[in-house]
Copies of this chain bind each other. A is one copy, B any other.
Amino acid sequence: MKRLLSILTVLLLTGCVTRVDLRGTHDLGLVIERSSGSVSIVETTNQSRLGRIEGLGDLSHAHATYSRDGRYGYIFGRDGGLTKVDLLLRRIDRRIMQSGNAIGGSISQDGKLIVVQNYTPGGIKVFNAATLAPISEVPAEYAPGLLSKVVGLADLPGQKFAYALFDAGEIWVTDLTDPAHPVTQRFKAGRQPYDAMVTPDGRYYIAGLFGEDALAMLDLWHPEKGVRKILQGYGRGEEALPVYKMPHLRGWAMVGQHLFLPAIGRHEVLVVDSTDWRETARIPVRGQPVFVMGQPDGRRVWVNFAFPDNGLVQVIDTDSLAVVRTLAPGRGILHMEFTPRGESVWLSARDDNRILVYDTRTLEQMRTLDIPNPSGIFLTNRSSRIGF
């Protein structure tokens, strides 16, 4: 009887018969199957793949976020598709085409709104998180008739969202307290912001600039101070290497008061002190960093790289600032995700059709999972975090 309850399954007639376990959602996640328009549902306790959901369109640069109850994932496809998937019933709950070309989205602090950032038409759109019904939009019209691509969208405390306008060189902050009537503040940021992130507390919004040798930082507790340039001239006038892949800034790592971030076009990880925003160190690495991600305990930072070094991962000790291990986990390492309390890290090896799970203490490989062309790995604890 006990066993019967613990593996309780429910048979549902949903066109076909689906098997569903009654289970918690805190150890679940989604892996984007880049080329097939599918996502795999995985769980991190036994490190296994539970199932697949198909029919999500173009997932070549897909992002996912979660409902506040952890049951539903929202997948933002490159083609403007927005799909709400049910991780427990393992099927699509709802799906809409919301734009022609999209680049990710976020959920509001209270979990009631989904906001998508679009390239075409440039701007953000706001949807009801339960129904995906459209509520409002903010076209990124920075001058009459000119719409900018939007990048670097981040949810903030207080039903706000920050994002950057690539073509306008601006950062906008939109308050969705009244979701039908967005209120937007504009800030001059610098040339060509290409991605951005917010610190884990939602206070500092930082955009990388492609057109300037600097980053743009906005203190959201003091928006009246405007944007401040930080790390100006970090390239030191040297000629940058050709950029094979833009770094992903959402992966920046905050460790204590230090921020570890990828240099553009350079084989370096930069370390910045968030108390005065000065560079405190730069760490030589084996290639052009793409994701620079801190373990939840801040003890180490993991770095993956652009082509041709995308088979390597380097692990940096945040105390000594030394590279303590260079791993060669597989071909085409596109993404990394730590389990919520950081005992392991999941890596996607796109060209090996595999997910690799590493123990963060021993740095040994614990498990491989066969998943075709995996890219982004998104665990449900993102549901509890600001700025994801």
Contact = CB atoms under 8 A, between A and B. Distances in A.
B88 A24 contact: yes
Q: Which of A20, A67, A296 has the most CB of B within 10 A?
A: A296
Given A221-B299, A257-B256, A383 B26 contact: yes
Interface string A233-274: 000000000000000000000011100000000000000001
A26 B380 CA distance: 9
A343 B108 CA distance: 10
Nearest to A204: B256
B380 A158 contact: no
Contacts of A111: 45, 341
Given A5-B89, A256-B201, A299-B221, A109 B24 contact: no
Interface stretch (A8-16, A52-60, A188-196): A8-16
Contacts of A298: 201, 203
Contact of A25 (B24, B109, B110, B343): B24
A111 B110 CA distance: 28
B109 A343 contact: yes
Contacts of A386: 296-297, 341-342
Copy tally for this chain in the complex stands at 2
Interface string A19-53: 01011111100000000000000011100000000
A26 B25 CA distance: 7
A221 B319 contact: yes
A2 to B, nearest CB: 9
Nearest to A111: B45
A272 B276 CA distance: 18
Contact of A296 (B12, B201, B221): B201
A367 interface: no
Given A22-B22, A297-B386, A342-B109, A10 B10 contact: yes
Interface string A280-324: 000000000000000111110000000000000000000100000
B68 A27 contact: yes
Contact of A297 (B27, B68, B202): B202
Given A20-B22, A275-B257, A341-B386, A157 B299 contact: yes
A381 interface: yes
Nearest to A86: B5
A61 interface: no
Contacts of A343: 109-110, 157
Interface of A: 5, 8, 10, 12, 14, 20, 22-27, 43-45, 66-72, 87-89, 109-111, 157-158, 201-203, 221, 255-257, 274-275, 295-299, 319, 340-343, 361, 380-381, 383-386
27 contacts: A5-B12, A10-B22, A22-B88, A22-B89, A23-B69, A24-B25, A24-B67, A24-B88, A26-B67, A26-B70, A26-B71, A43-B69, A44-B68, A45-B68, A45-B69, A68-B340, A70-B70, A157-B295, A201-B256, A201-B296, A201-B297, A201-B298, A203-B299, A297-B386, A340-B384, A341-B384, A384-B384
